[in-house]
Structure 1
Amino acid sequence: MVKPQSTTRQAPLPTRHGVSPSYIWIPEGHWESALQFLTQQFPDIPPKVWLMRMQKAEVCDGDGQVLSPDSQVKRGMCIYYYRELEDEIAIPFQETILYQDAHLLVVDKPHFLPVTPGGKYLRETLLVRLKCTTGIEHLTPLHRLDRETAGVMLFSTQVQSRGKYQTLFQGRQVNKTYHALAAHLSEQAFPIHKTSRMVESTQFFVMQEIDGEPNSETMISILERRGAHSVYLLQPSTGKKHQLRVHLASLGAPIINDQFYPVALPQGSDDFQKPLQLLAKSIAFIDPISGEQREFHSQLQL
């Protein structure tokens, strides 16, 4: 199992250029050496790349012992290394810090920028960019925001207080509002209390609605008309993946420039001139440390 470095585990390798080391646990099996294990686990990475990393002392075990190509490995060992990407796509949009204190960092995330590393994105992610600009090594996102969605994003800056803020999100004690631009629904009466049961589709990365007990809930109203379109105010009570996109699409008003709903386009279809018209506009909660009402608003507009 490969993971980015956990914020509670003390990594033997330091954060480098905002990128924390990744690690992999060795499962049941037999390998002659560390090099053999790594090349079998990561067939897309040539052996010469692992040799170069080992020569630079960038591969080690959980105790910080640098591994050589012929180092012995066994079940239960943890190997640390730096994930690297060649020819990473540059995201031509910049994040903005809205607020920072001893416990929180609040940021306006641009469209197209992933929050955390994964797949074909590493340094061009909000987390890595912020680690580089702020120098906060233990920065951790407190909630999710799709890569295609822009708007308010909260990060924890301290390990000690992180759990208090995470509990707010887990207990649905955070109020979020979103703005979305989509076709006007002239036949609908607003506001709409939209509920449905959402599950993973057989199609990669896409969600679908099925019959059954609802597990997603969104209040939908209209903020303004823009010709044949409306700016919708979306207030979700639950946080299913792609919930707002699915709910509007199922009503007959897919969000403008949505690459997944109602029909998923091929991967790599990004057009930086056509961002998804969905914005995480505000987030509000009672601060679990100060007891104060907190409310943060995106400076972006659709």
Structure 2
Amino acid sequence: MVKKIFCIAIYSIRQWLTNPRIICLFVLMSLFVWNDIQVIGELTVKTGIRTNPLISPFFSNDPIKQLILLAGIVFLFSDAPFINKNQPYIIIRSKRVPWVLGQILYIAMASAIYFLFLMLVSILVLLPHATFATNGWGKIVQTLAQTNAGAQINLQFGISKEIITFYSPWEAFGLSFLLNWGVACFLGLILFVINLKFNRMLGLVAGGVILFFDLLVTNMLSPSFYHISPVSLSRLSVLDPMGVSLFPNLTYPFVFFGVSIVILSILLVVSIKKTTIEITSEL
């Protein structure tokens, strides 16, 4: 059964190579990340100082940038439950429960690939001007965090003082990936459940509401609302590693995403047994 589940997930990943919408998504997101981060490389050229290239935690910490990155996830999983002309034959051969578990594994794998790829792009942008042999975050990042140098070079996202204070570069990079992975899996499974039980339009509406709720909390509501905003929980500066404020502590998002993913997965396994599966055209 484990082999079946893994093969189903790998099959779905392989379909990316012949799917223009997925290829376009990765190209557009790469250009989006590249364009916004390259100004830091230009700053290193002007100053003659190399930078630490682990900038992606700051990029995804920006509410607007994160909204766009996760909009890509909603687009990636908008066709859940991923039924095309070949899937009915796979379901017949594997049975429904292994098939849906394979699709859940696909969401987890696809989410990891998506963010690892974009984080790698963010490193490649700065690689010609980068070094890992910096003292902590290095002079460039420290300067951008503590001065208005970012505004002078038209940097489109902020370098958070909280992140450079509480986390080392690799800690921030690793935590940022895990948090992004968690929220991407959460969004993918939410879309899967709603699309399976209702329809894709309702799934897209739900995905949009979850994305924009972060902006509502950030701009209008009390910090305590961050506890129920999945997108907010993926941003490092929202978390309180000391656990002394209304903001969620560092453990909370991992518990939130872990429990939510387990519940949504169980709901999918139960639902698939009673749901009529319809074939849809490939996008």
TM-score (norm 1): 0.22
TM-score (norm 2): 0.23
Larger strand share, 1 or 2: 1
Larger helix share, 1 or 2: 2
Q: Taking CA–CA contacts closer than 8 Å with sequence separation of 6 or more, which of the two structures ends up with the larger relative contact order?
A: 2
